[in-house]
Structures are given as C-alpha cells and as structure tokens.
Copies of this chain bind each other. A is one copy, B any other.
Amino acid sequence: MKNNTVAVFTSGGDAPGMNACIKGIVDYAFKNDMKILAIRSGYKGLIAEDFIELTPEMVKDNMHRAGTFIKTSRYHDFFKPEIQKKAVEILKNHNINYLIGIGGDGTYRGLIELKKLGINVIGIPGTIDNDINYSETSLGFDTAYNAATENIKAASESMRSFDRVFVAEVMGRHSGNIALNVAIASGADIVAVPEKPITADNICKKVNAVKAKGNNSPVIIVHDYYPYYDELLNKLRNVCKLEARSQIIGFVQRGASPTAYDTILGWSYGIHAIELCLKNKFGIAIGTQNNRIFDCDIEKSLTYPSNFDIDLYNKFDI
C-alpha cells in the first residue's frame, strides 16, 4: 500500500516547464512510495473530480513538451466559498494528503483559501510573465523571452532589408520582465515597460535619435498592455513619416519547447515539493531567491514588491 497521496494540478496560463515539474514530482514521489494523482484542468477539474493517477512512464514522454499535459483552465467560480468547501470535501474523499498547485497569482489565491480550510498546500510559480514577485524567476519565463527574442531577431532581418521601423508587442501582463529581456537580447533599440511609462511621443523622439546615429531600422519592444500602441504606429507613420511595421509575437512565447533552464527549474521545484511533503512542511510557496531555492510562506508570497530589474532597465535606457 502507498504511504501517502499527493495531488498535483496546473492552473491559469500554461507555462513551459510545467511538465518537467510534474516529472520531478512524480519521479521523487514514486521513489518514496507515494501515490500521485493529477487533477486535470486545474480548479475546474477539482470540482469535476477529474482525477488520474500518474506514473513515471507518463511523465517521461511529456517532460520536453510545452503546455501542461494534465491541462489547465481559468475557473473564476473557485472564489465562491461554497465551491471552496466542495473542493475540500472532494480532496478529503480522495484521501489527498498534500496538494501541489503550479501556476500564477490566481492559482496561489485559491491555494491560500484551501490552506485556510485545512488543506496541506504547496505552490510552485509557473507563469511566463515572471510576475510572482517573491521569486526571482518562474517556470516558463526563460523559454518565453528566448522564443520572443528569436522571433524578433528574425523579423528584424526583414525590417533591415527595407529600412523599416519595427514595433513588436510581447507578453508579460503587468510586468515588463519579458519586454526588457527581449529588448536587450534581440538587440532592439527602445523598450516600453509598465514600470517606466513612456508616451508615444517620447518613443518617436527616441526613434529619431536612433536614426540620427545611422541605424535606419530601429526596433521597439512594447509590453502587451502598452496603452499607446495604435497612437505610436500612427505617429511613426504619419508624423515621423517612417515605414513602420508591427507584430504581436503571440503564443510562441507560451508554447515553445522549454529551455534547458526551465526544464531544470521545473524538475528541481518538483523534487523540492516532495522533499517538503516528506518533512511535513506545508503552506509554502516554493521559489528562487539569490539564485537558490527558497521557501516562502504562501500567504506572504503575494505581498512582495515588484521583481522587475530596474538596474537592468537603467543600463538599457542609457
């Protein structure tokens, strides 16, 4: 008979590295003779009792794929108290000793509610936006900015052939982490991040300054809620009289095969989660600080200030 039962689920936006994380969990739990259930499609699947048992064979094949093979969802009903109570009941009926959720802030808020209702929870940061501030990085971020960078490097080759200006929108929600990293890595000239608001007019001024130095194909990276996107394109074309092209980089940031870094990070987080279970430690959000794995009280995990690297921004914006 198995010692204990662990349930794992992914919730909210999928992120490359989630499958490697599940592999770490399953490999180490099996070694310790635990039973592993996957709750498919996140909180929605929890309420629907969509559970499957995981084996090492199942995870091996999926570890290098993006997305999450145990599926995910956004399920806003989970914030209703009666739904949360039902979740607790289901978890108890299935004799689940530990519940590991992989996702972003929405996932964590659900875990915090379940913790308050007596469930032994562990949170793992899985979001390409890297906006879970207690942790220096989250699953999928390295993959996302690498994939965006490759796409923008490619597009830039076409732009240069025509001496065109290029505006590329990358993901990140309310964080400029992807935008800033992509801007530097792709060799772009200008970046707009939510942490340092910039008007369309000021971007146009920078474009003119870049052109004045002899670069005829300035590249501008903007975060995905940049409020002056349309105005910027309009001014580049009609005020600056430049041939401008734009692109929303899109889902490749989310679906690219995980980088080696994200694979290792996911797998390490997964192993560590089971280490915590074996030590009977719960209510923890796993993360990275000072480049080392870090255990954070899950209730405090969402109260940290922004992890945006303002020093790096200042280096870029010289």
Query: Which residues in A have some Cβ–Cβ distance to B below 8 Å?
Result: 10, 14, 23, 27-28, 31, 41, 56-57, 60, 63-69, 71-73, 136, 142, 145-147, 149-151, 153-163, 166, 181-182, 184-187, 213-215, 245, 247-252, 254-257, 259-261, 263-264, 267-268, 271-272, 288, 290-291, 312, 315, 318
Contact = CB atoms under 8 A, between A and B. Distances in A.
Contacts of A136: 291
| A-B CB proximity, top 5 nearest | A154-B255, A155-B251, A185-B260, A290-B290, A67-B157
Contacts of A159: 251, 255
Among A145, A151, A288, chain B packs the most CB atoms within 10 A around the CB of: A151
A290 B292 CA distance: 8
Given A142-B261, A146-B261, 16 more contacts: A57-B214, A67-B160, A68-B161, A71-B163, A142-B260, A146-B259, A149-B260, A151-B252, A155-B250, A155-B252, A156-B255, A158-B251, A184-B263, A185-B261, A271-B318, A291-B291
Nearest to A259: B146
| Count of chain copies | 4
A273 B232 CA distance: 35
Contact of A158 (B31, B181, B255): B255
A263 B185 contact: yes
